[in-house]
Copies of this chain bind each other. A is one copy, B any other.
Amino acid sequence: MKFSQSIDLAIHALITMAEQPTDEPIMIRKLANSVQASESYLARIMLNLVKTGLIKSIRGKHGGFVFKKPPHTITIADVVIAMDQDVAEFNCSWEIRNCDQSKECTLRNLFKEAQEQMLAVLRSMTIKDIANSPHCKTLFCEEETKTINS
């Protein structure tokens, strides 16, 4: 299984924000540099986080991004869903066919349960948790484990 690069960039941008010593807005240039992505691409990603209410954007001079929800309340599931609403929904595979969602279907229930168990794990950890624990600096894993004051 492979979670998308966009999800990974979003998580690491939020970790970078959580590690800031001050509450001042952080610019896209600084974030992009931190997660090693282009400014234009990361801006697109940050927009998803703004729209789902995890962070706020501040325009104009001295603008940038700040948390709207405190980082200890933002779960990894929140970020994954912000980047791909589809993971939190459940759709049958072929909508063309008539499908009565009210009927019991062992198979559908099974896949919904599989989805729910996956999300439950992702809900069990927050951005703050990750920032406070050994984690990879920019993407899922990298040579250097990060220590906060390095």
Of chain B, the residue at the smallest CB distance from A120 is: B117
CA of A145 to CA of B106 in the docked complex: distance in angstroms? 10
Considering only CB atoms and an 8 Å cut-off, how many residues of chain A contact the other chain? 56
CB-defined contacts of A108 to chain B, threshold 8 Å: 136, 140-141
CB distance from A77 to the nearest CB of B (A): 9
Q: Are B125 and A121 in contact (CB under 8 A)?
A: no
Q: Are A105 and B1 in contact (CB under 8 A)?
A: no
CB distance from A85 to the nearest CB of B (A): 10
CB-defined contacts of A106 to chain B, threshold 8 Å: 125, 129-130, 133-135
CB-defined contacts of A4 to chain B, threshold 8 Å: 93
CB distance from A91 to the nearest CB of B (A): 5
Answer whether residue A44 sits at the interface, using C-beta atoms and an 8 A cutoff.
Answer: no
Answer whether residue A23 sits at the interface, using C-beta atoms and an 8 A cutoff.
Answer: no
CA of A27 to CA of B145 in the docked complex: distance in angstroms? 55
13 contacts between A and B (CB under 8 A): A4-B93, A5-B94, A92-B140, A97-B139, A98-B142, A103-B145, A106-B129, A106-B135, A108-B140, A108-B141, A110-B121, A110-B122, A111-B140
Measured CB to CB, the residues of A under 8 A from B are 1-5, 7-8, 11, 36, 76, 86-94, 97-101, 103-108, 110-111, 113-115, 117-122, 124-125, 129-130, 133-136, 138-143, 145
